[in-house]
Amino acid sequence: MENYEPEIVAFCCHYCAYTAADMAGSKRISYPANVKIIRVPCTGKVDAIHIMKALEKGADGVYVAGCLEGDCHFKTGNARARLRVARVQKILEDLGWEKERVAMINMSAGMGERFAKTAFEFTEKIKSLGPNPISQGKIEVQAVS
């Protein structure tokens, strides 16, 4: 798995992490192309099913990046997202997956460096875990009719 490049989905709050990613870009701070950003109005809009669906579709890791604790523009969105991420981590553990495939991260709009550092660190963590069990063919996903 020397050349393994993980697929990572980052649900980023419009007000902070997405802006931080923009800032990283404008400061020419690079971050891994493995990280695919999905902009959301607030991390409170990210439900457990969105994270699970990303994993089911082949993402090797997913993180939810929201405003700093206490700074959510919708008051408690990031707190609710943290609880949902913890719930998904528990589900992954119950399935025998590594819970580290999913994470909650907080940052402000001005933290371009932190955005890039997070993207690098998360990518390295997922590289060490390897592909997710679905994409390895260890688990079959069946449609429910």
Binding interface with ligand FES (CB under 6 A): 13, 15-16, 42-44, 66-67, 72-74, 77-78
Q: Which is nearer to ligand FES, 73 or 125 (CB)?
A: 73
Q: Which is nearer to ligand FES, 43 or 89 (CB)?
A: 43
Residue 15 CB, nearest approach to ligand FES (Å)? 4
Distance CA 88, CA 43 (A): 15
Residue 139 CB, nearest approach to ligand FES (Å)? 31
Residue 66 CB, nearest approach to ligand FES (Å)? 3
Q: Which is nearer to ligand FES, 74 or 120 (CB)?
A: 74
Q: Which is nearer to ligand FES, 15 or 97 (CB)?
A: 15
Distances (CA, A) of 17 to 3, 9, 21: 28, 13, 6
Extract the tokens encoding 127: 């590289």
